[in-house]
Chains A and B, each alone.
Chain A
Amino acid sequence: MAKITFIQPDGVTQVIEATVGQTVMEAAKTNDVPGIEAECGGACACATCHVYVAEEWREKAGAPSEMEEDMLDFAFDVREESRLCCQIKVTEDLDGAVFQVPAKQF
């Protein structure tokens, strides 16, 4: 288990219990985190699971693959800390991680 925090654009935070082996997107959907749309169900084909990784968690969350970078082109307001959270696997290392939900998924 890993505790993961999502911060909404208006500042509201939500802490969820994620299971190791799931993706962060799946954990967010299971817990009804608003603003994570994930239209393609995690196939890295829609860019509607866009999140910003909090500064201190960027290294543990890792960098996007080439395929994910290509898909990030279809997201809005992409920043250096942008990830598609269907491409982040939950590990024990992510216990305590913080992700910010963007204002719009497009």
Chain B
Amino acid sequence: MTTLQHGGGSGEPIETDVVIIGAGPVGLFAVFELGLLDIKCHLIDILDKPGGQCAELYPEKPIYDIPALPVVSGQELTDRLLEQIKPFEPTFHISERVDELERQPDGRFLLRSDAGTQFLTKIVVIAAGGGSFTPKRPPLPGIETYEGSSVFYSVRRMEDFRGRDILIVGGGDSALDWTLSLQPIANSLTLLHRRDDFRAAPHSVEKMRELVAAGKMRLMIGQMAGLQGSDGQLESVAVKTKEGEETLKIDRIMPFFGLTMKLGPVANWGLNLEENLIPVDTEKFETSEPRIFAIGDINTYPGKLKLILSGFHEAALMSQAAHRYVYPDKKLLFQYTTSSSNLQKKLGVR
């Protein structure tokens, strides 16, 4: 069974052979290749689901260049990979970002996530793609000075919003869901969207419209034009509408403009980087640090193509090298899944 762990605890580090950073298609397939070699994995991803770019950016769009699958959608590819790796019982830590990676005196690595989960692992596989998914920041001058005090991209504590004048910006499910949850505790709540059409679930849109009709919140069609405040405390927001500009008294903003990929903490782990990519060799896909591998979109080498297919190949070769570290005394016998009863036993088909 595949285990999903939400959030984490602090306390004792989880000891394992391999930690895979990033649960995109390439990280997922690495579980399979490592699993065939008896290596168990934990995967960590900042997204709330596995699948990386395929699941977050284009779940419904077709991919035409996966060998033997003439067409498959981003989500379907993710689902199929999850099914394929099931026999190897990977543990997923989702909605968690790996922030720290340190080599220990015994050669292993200590990893720490933003949720406080710690891992002690022999091997690290960085399958971080284009970096961690991060909320898009509206390009308004000075917005960064309000982040964490007045501007929030997620809600950690509802209490931060009680009795506040809240502006929620966007037209998708996150914007509508937070509108409905925060409205009851807000002093005032305004939902701002660029058009009177919402991508969110119809029943939440309906509920929002009922609240507007009852005079319990305001819906504005327009866009943010500027922020005013001081010392990180927001006081008002200028909003541009068809009728002109209006200034709203606001002290909390939640902007929802989707996610983008930012390299993030990977840059702080002392690895060689070339234009935000990690150079690796093409035999083992190992980084400048022994026992740390990089596969998929995050790596670079002469001839690199950012394709899922290339990432799968890299996962297979990386696993051979990882095996030598995890089982230094075992000789690796090359086997086919078609004919090896040993591999088939691991896959649960025999």
Residues on A lying within 8 angstroms of B by beta carbon are: 39-40, 43, 45-47, 69-70, 72-74, 76-78, 103-104, 106
Q: Once bound together, how far apart are the Cα atoms of A77 and B195, in whole Å?
A: 12
Say yes or no: A73-B199 contact (C-beta < 8 A), given A78-B194, A78-B223, A106-B257.
yes
Q: Once bound together, how far apart are the Cα atoms of A106 and B171, in whole Å?
A: 17
| Contact across chains for B136 and A43 when beta carbons are under 8 A apart | no
Q: Once bound together, how far apart are the Cα atoms of A69 and B82, in whole Å?
A: 32
Q: Once bound together, how far apart are the Cα atoms of A69 and B257, in whole Å?
A: 14
| Contact across chains for B195 and A69 when beta carbons are under 8 A apart | yes
Q: Which residue of A lies closest to B240 (CB)?
A: A77
Q: Which residue of A lies closest to B138 (CB)?
A: A76
Checking B57, B61, B194, B260 against A73 with a beta-carbon cut-off of 8 angstroms, the contacting residue is: B194
**Which parts of B179-215 form the interface with A (CB within 8 Å)?**
193-195, 197, 199
Chain A positions within 8 Å of B199 at CB level: 70, 73
1/0 per residue, CB under 8 A from A, across B33-75: the answer is 0000000000000000000000001100100000000000000
Chain A positions within 8 Å of B136 at CB level: 74, 106
Q: Once bound together, how far apart are the Cα atoms of A40 and B57, in whole Å?
A: 9
Dominant secondary structure of chain B at its interface with chain A: loop
Say yes or no: A43-B139 contact (C-beta < 8 A), given A73-B171, A106-B260.
no
Q: What bracket does the count of chain B residues touching chain A fall in?
A: 10 to 19
Say yes or no: A43-B258 contact (C-beta < 8 A), given A76-B139, A106-B136.
no
| B67 nearest CB across to chain A (Å) | 20
The 5 closest A-B pairs by CB, nearest first: A104-B139, A74-B258, A45-B57, A45-B58, A78-B194
| A59 nearest CB across to chain B (Å) | 20
Q: Is there a chain A Cβ closer than 8 Å to B116's Cβ?
A: no
Q: Once bound together, how far apart are the Cα atoms of A43 and B59, in whole Å?
A: 12
Q: List 11 A-B contacts (CB under 8 A).
A: A45-B58, A46-B57, A46-B260, A73-B199, A73-B257, A76-B138, A76-B223, A78-B194, A103-B139, A106-B136, A106-B257
Given contacts A73-B172, A106-B136, A106-B139, 15 further A-B contacts (CB under 8 A): A39-B260, A40-B58, A45-B57, A45-B58, A47-B258, A70-B199, A73-B193, A76-B138, A76-B139, A78-B194, A103-B139, A104-B139, A106-B138, A106-B257, A106-B260
| Contact across chains for B197 and A69 when beta carbons are under 8 A apart | yes
Q: Is there a chain A Cβ closer than 8 Å to B129's Cβ?
A: no
Chain B positions within 8 Å of A43 at CB level: 57-58, 61
